[in-house]
Amino acid sequence: MPELVSTRDPNAEPVPYLDALMSKASHCGLHIPEDASYPQFNRTELDTIATLNFEQLAIVVKTYLTNAAIPYTAQTRLAQRAYDREAFPTTKDGNIAPVQQIVGNLLVQQLSLGPTAAFKDFGLRSLAGEMNYALEREDRHLNILAGTSGDTGSAAEAAFKGIERVNIFMLSPKKGMSPFQQAQMGELSGENVHNLSIVDGSFDDCQKLVKDPTFQKFGAVNSINWGRIVGQLPYYFSGYFQAIEATGGTIGDPVDFVVPTGNFGNVFSGHVARSMGLPIRKLIIATNENNVIHRLVQTGEYYNTGSTITSSPSMDISVASNYERLVYEMFEGDPLLTRGYMREFELGKRVLLQDYGLDKSAFERLNIESGTSTHDDRLKTIDGVRMLTDGELVIDTHTADGVAVAMQRDIEVPTVCLATAAAVKFEASVREAIGRIPERDARFRGLEERVNGSGFVDLPNSQAALEVYLRKFVDADVFTTA
């Protein structure tokens, strides 16, 4: 398969997969295969890979997509580490991304059995192993600087914990994260993991610090990293095959996926899986009250009206960065048109597909649809799913967003709603919905009390203070001095 180019640069020198993991695409674009063309699995190949276990499936899919950037033996070692029992202690029948039938064609795929109980574990564990492989090959070390307001921080730290060639520095606002999320990160601190709590700073302040030119040479792990998109493919394949089996279908039959969407990374992975020949029919984007993407799909207008805090906070966005990759494809791989469209949005907060020779029918042609939910919808859905499963399944608010959107529609074909987080992460809302909270997994019992606020270093919201702190751990030549 082609190497990776920039969505915004017609003169970009294509880069191989492993290089793309550790560099930024030129002209502030995102990495994407040239012309958004992907290798295809044919029907016979799909029949064959349907029999593989999750680990083997992941190796095959990633080898296809990355043009065997990592040899098979190394892939096997990476997959064993990414998906091991210690990280996923509570699999269902050995599957780490099990699909459960709720009723008829309505299914839920559990993506929150990993170490931090959110689907981000998949993308980040895959990325961490591959980055480490690339660093070993070049005998290099990497310092990562990132910001988080919730799930990304703990998932990245759990993924990179103990990886010797990487130091990870994670900025978070002192106020704003839930006690559970804070405790998850606090518990991971130590060795190569550093938690920096920005006093009097918001998540946006953290992002601003990360983007300061002084820290330009630090590595990034945010959701626009191509390696994270690739690391999210295996569960679509596994989910498809399980859905076919659960509903008595045949491989080749259509399956819809509903994806609780924030930054458009997860749903874009689904789009890539479909582009590789997986018979996904529709991808249905579910948004909460921050419904910029829902409005885009319904009208063709991409309009940043700011964001508000909701009960599914990991989807509280005002821009959806990975949408740019779809734009590049809708514009038939034209980087100048993509750049113009994105620049117009960035400068004026608003852009119309209609001004670029397209309209909302572009989404229809790609079989991408959307829906939205409110806090009330999500609470009712949590309770509804609990009743439909005789109390067995209690979903979180993000998953509820997806299931609510699925239930607003005619469910014509098997429909897999991705469960992007576990209820334990958002217990307050779950209690509001059903009047109780499910028993926690052993590993999460008493977490907040155990950690008790430890594991963070306080820093003022200042570039200079951050630089002084980082210089204690990081070589001088990593800093860009003006």
Ligand X SMILES: *Cc1c(COP(=O)(O)O)cnc(C)c1O
Binding site for ligand X (CB under 6 A): 118, 120, 151, 223, 260-266, 314-315, 398, 420-421
Identity of the residue, 114 or 455, whose beta carbon is nearer to ligand X in the bound complex: 114
> What is the DSSP code string of 203-256?
HHHHHHHHT-GGGTTSB--STT-HHHHHHTHHHHHHHHHHHHHHTT--BTB-EE
Residue 97 CB contacts under 8 Å (≥ 6 apart), including other chains: 54, 109, 110, 111, 113, 122, 234, 235, 238, 239
Identity of the residue, 62 or 325, whose beta carbon is nearer to ligand X in the bound complex: 325
Smallest separation, CB 423 to ligand X (Å): 11
Cα 192 to the chain's mean position, in Å?
23
Smallest separation, CB 261 to ligand X (Å): 4
Residue 124: closest CA among 231, 25, 19: 231
Smallest separation, CB 262 to ligand X (Å): 3
Smallest separation, CB 162 to ligand X (Å): 23
Smallest separation, CB 467 to ligand X (Å): 29
Identity of the residue, 229 or 451, whose beta carbon is nearer to ligand X in the bound complex: 229
Q: For residues 328 and 271, is the Cβ–Cβ distance under 8 A?
A: no
Identity of the residue, 41 or 444, whose beta carbon is nearer to ligand X in the bound complex: 444
Identity of the residue, 62 or 398, whose beta carbon is nearer to ligand X in the bound complex: 398
Angle CA(357)–CA(363)–CA(366) in degrees, nearest 5?
Answer: 110
Identity of the residue, 270 or 335, whose beta carbon is nearer to ligand X in the bound complex: 270
* Residue 200, token pair as written in the block: 């009097």
Q: At what angle do helices 427-434 and 397-407 cross, to 10 degrees?
A: 50
Smallest separation, CB 119 to ligand X (Å): 6
Smallest separation, CB 459 to ligand X (Å): 25
Residue 465: strand, helix, or coil: helix
Q: State how far the alpha carbon of 202 is from the alpha carbons of 48, 240, 283, 303, in Å.
A: 49, 39, 33, 23
Q: How far apart are CA 123 and CA 340, in angstroms?
A: 30
DSSP type of residue 391: T
Smallest separation, CB 405 to ligand X (Å): 13
Neighbours of 275 (CB within 10 A): 18
Helices (H) and strands (E) in the chain, counts: 20, 14
Strands in 106-110's sheet, in edge-to-edge order, are 99-103, 106-110, 415-419, 255-260, 280-287, 368-372
Identity of the residue, 49 or 128, whose beta carbon is nearer to ligand X in the bound complex: 128
Q: For residues 41 and 25, is the Cβ–Cβ distance under 8 A?
A: no
Q: For residues 97 and 58, is the Cβ–Cβ distance under 8 A?
A: no
Residue 131: closest CA among 119, 142, 146, 116: 142
Identity of the residue, 66 or 261, whose beta carbon is nearer to ligand X in the bound complex: 261
Smallest separation, CB 320 to ligand X (Å): 7
* Residue 463, token pair as written in the block: 């570039």
Identity of the residue, 314 or 338, whose beta carbon is nearer to ligand X in the bound complex: 314
Q: At what angle do helices 323-330 and 265-275 cross, to 10 degrees?
A: 40
Smallest separation, CB 292 to ligand X (Å): 12
Q: For residues 72 and 59, is the Cβ–Cβ distance under 8 A?
A: yes
Q: How far apart are CA 48 and CA 187, in angstroms?
A: 42
Smallest separation, CB 357 to ligand X (Å): 27
Identity of the residue, 133 or 426, whose beta carbon is nearer to ligand X in the bound complex: 426
* Residue 53, token pair as written in the block: 């276990």
Identity of the residue, 386 or 398, whose beta carbon is nearer to ligand X in the bound complex: 398
